[in-house]
Structure 1
Amino acid sequence: MSDGTGAGPGARARSRLTVLSGPSGVGKSSVLAELRRRDPDLHFSVSVTTRKPRPGEVDGVHYHFVDLAEFGKMVDNGKLLEHAEFAGNRYGTPREPVEAALAAGRPSLLEIELQGARQVRAAMPEARLVMLAPPSWEDLVERLTGRGTEDPAVVARRLEIAREELAAEPEFDEVVVNADVRSAATRLLDLVVGPPPVAR
């Protein structure tokens, strides 16, 4: 895996769960899109959410869109590996696809919020937690305010949440700085298919 574009058979034999978290605006979607392009065989978990689809989002591809009642049933029946509320909506990770991928020896990647990452750490201590961070706080502020299309109160709340998320960095096994999407994707792919983290 010296070229950062894939993994050899030895690495592929390892089954590991990697959890990626990071503040809004840090570029998680762009980095994950690059990862999918480089290694289509990785298992990318599709979250369940109660929020409405945004333009261009496809049910079952970007998210599984459900109502509050269905989400509640999934929680009650233990079908979610983790679940959390964010910005007034509920999100969760279906347990069965992740467990099936790991049982088949496929590295699995979850992109979830801090609350969910903490739940996964408690449930699966062997999971590797990775934070995607901005090059600087000023850079993140620019990314979130530069759009100029959202209510200032919403942006302020996102910045408040982002500060809390970045303060949790010591809880993570690794930090990947997203100064460049391709470089960040290379580093993340190394972590997803590389050796397991050192036990704490």
Structure 2
Amino acid sequence: MSLHTSHPRSAPRVIVLSGPTAVGKTTVVKKLRAAHPELWISVSTTTRPPRPREIDGEHYHFVDDPTFDKMIELGEFLEWAVVHKRAKYGTPRGPVERALANGHSVLLEIDLQGARQVREAIPDALFVFLAPPSWDELVRRLIGRGTETEAERERRLTTAREELAAEAEFDVTLVNTDVETVCEELVTLMRTPHLTSPEA
């Protein structure tokens, strides 16, 4: 099945969720999985090591660099990118195509570079930008996470500034003030073909 969808009201769609580092994308997706197990959410592949309590195949598919590079060579990614100038992340193409063929809308949680690649591949996807309530709150969340070194935090903050500047490239902006509210807005977007905002 083609990744492009055109039938109103019934066809599955691709929703791309992106936003700056530490804005809470992973937290939103975890909540969404728990509250709405019927929704199809893509699991990305990455070369970074697992964080505490992350499960291979559930949070990410963790692979080494040679394996990732072989997947690139074989054209197995819908999109991929080097994030924060270190680890590679990618969206496996096969599971997305199968989900769409089976009539499921697909949510991709990916970084800005990946979102731009998906726009080239699937121009009729819906692109959702997850924004922090404020820059200060974003910094607080990043520091409070406690999973990065100071040098890594600085790299991520530099990346976050660039990512925030790209908000205008997206179709919809959701402000992550409350995770449950964001989840319900995403459910509405996934279940309503060609809706461009939760209020539309």
Whether the TM-score (by the shorter chain) exceeds 0.5 is: yes
Contact 2:18 2:109 (8 Å CA) reproduced: yes
After TM superposition, give the deviation of residue 147 of structure 1 in Å. 4.7
- Normalising by the residue count of structure 2, what TM-score does the alignment of the two structures yield? 0.87
After TM superposition, give the deviation of residue 188 of structure 1 in Å. 1.5
Gap regions ≥5 residues in structure 2: 1-7
Contact 1:178 1:184 (8 Å CA) reproduced: yes
> For structure 1, which segment, 128-137 or 58-67, has the greater mean C-alpha deviation from structure 2 after superposition?
58-67
Structure 1 stretches of 4+ with a deviation exceeding 6 A read: none
Deviations 1:88-117 (A, max 9, x none): 111111101000101111011111110000
2:80 is the alignment partner of 1:83: yes
From the superposition, tell whether residues 127 and 58 of structure 1 become closer, same or farther in structure 2 (CA, over 3 Å).
same
2:141 is the alignment partner of 1:130: no
Q: 1:35 aligns with which of 7, 32, 36?
A: 32
After TM superposition, give the deviation of residue 197 of structure 1 in Å. 5.2
After TM superposition, give the deviation of residue 77 of structure 1 in Å. 1.0
Give the number of aligned pairs.
Answer: 188
After TM superposition, give the deviation of residue 145 of structure 1 in Å. 2.7
Partner of 2:111: 113
Task: Give secondary structure in 2 for the equivalent of 1:129.
Answer: strand
From the superposition, tell whether residues 178 and 95 of structure 1 become closer, same or farther in structure 2 (CA, over 3 Å).
same
Aligned-partner Cα distance in 1 for 2:147–2:68 = 30
Identity %: 55
Deviations 1:56-93 (A, max 9, x none): 22221111111111111111111100000013111111
What code does the residue aligned with 1:168 have? Answer: A
After TM superposition, give the deviation of residue 137 of structure 1 in Å. 1.2
After TM superposition, give the deviation of residue 54 of structure 1 in Å. 2.1
After TM superposition, give the deviation of residue 52 of structure 1 in Å. 1.6
From the superposition, tell whether residues 78 and 140 of structure 1 become closer, same or farther in structure 2 (CA, over 3 Å).
same
Gap regions ≥5 residues in structure 1: 1-9
From the superposition, tell whether residues 197 and 171 of structure 1 become closer, same or farther in structure 2 (CA, over 3 Å).
farther
Partner of 1:74: 71
> For structure 1, which segment, 140-149 or 53-62, has the greater mean C-alpha deviation from structure 2 after superposition?
140-149
Q: CA RMSD in A?
A: 1.8
Deviations 1:142-190 (A, max 9, x none): 2223456643332222111111001001111111100011111111211
